[in-house]
């Protein structure tokens, strides 16, 4: 699968992964799980790019279980970062449309996209190779949303 769109985001990704590891050291179990899942999903994109992994494998490995659990526990996603996304949080032009969004709204879109990708794969015999959806674009959009959330959490108040 072509992951060329990921090339531009690889270098700052290492810094974000280090930050998320530090941020995940909290006593709030739900927050810790959500940050851990965020970090792991970013690692999946990073390693998929380095190893030319198929979209099918990536979709299988992406998780949203911590987000589902957080929703069940009525977790307030503003605990990840209060406020809303400001222009200085946005490093990729494609994410400018998310200015003004808060962590909860962005997490909801990330969760929705992971579910959609998993459902498309299930509906098509366990593979996305011959689907009519633009899976590469969907994965790209998902990656940049996850990266934006990490940038937002890391960014200045």
pLDDT digits (tens, 9 = 90+) for 70-83: 999 999 999 999 99
pTM of the entire predicted model: 0.84
pLDDT of residue 4 exceeding 60: yes
Q: How far apart are CA 97 and CA 104, in angstroms?
A: 16
pLDDT of residue 10 exceeding 60: no
* Average predicted confidence (pLDDT) for the chain: 89
Q: Give the pLDDT score at 26.
A: 62
pLDDT of residue 11 exceeding 90: no
Q: Give the pLDDT score at 7.
A: 58
Q: Give the pLDDT score at 118.
A: 98
The tens digit of pLDDT for each residue in 98-157 reads 999 999 999 999 999 999 999 999 999 999 999 999 999 999 999 999 999 999 998 876
pLDDT band at 33 (very low <50, low <70, confident <90, very high): very high
């Amino acid at each position: 699968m072509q992951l060329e769109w990921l090339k531009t985001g690889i270098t700052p990704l290492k810094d974000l992964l280090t930050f998320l590891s530090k941020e995940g050291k909290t006593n709030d179990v739900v927050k810790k799980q959500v940050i851990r899942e965020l970090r792991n999903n970013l690692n999946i994109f990073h390693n998929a790019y380095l190893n030319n992994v198929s979209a099918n494998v990536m979709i299988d490995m992406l998780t949203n279980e911590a987000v589902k659990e957080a929703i069940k526990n009525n977790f307030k996603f503003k605990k990840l970062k209060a406020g809303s996304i400001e222009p200085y949080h946005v490093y990729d032009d494609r994410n400018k449309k998310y200015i003004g969004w808060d962590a909860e709204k962005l997490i909801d879109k990330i969760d929705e996209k992971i579910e959609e990708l998993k459902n498309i794969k299930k509906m098509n015999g366990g593979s996305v190779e011959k689907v009519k959806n633009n899976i590469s674009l969907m994965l790209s959009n998902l990656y940049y949303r996850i990266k934006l959330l990490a940038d937002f959490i890391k960014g200045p108040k």
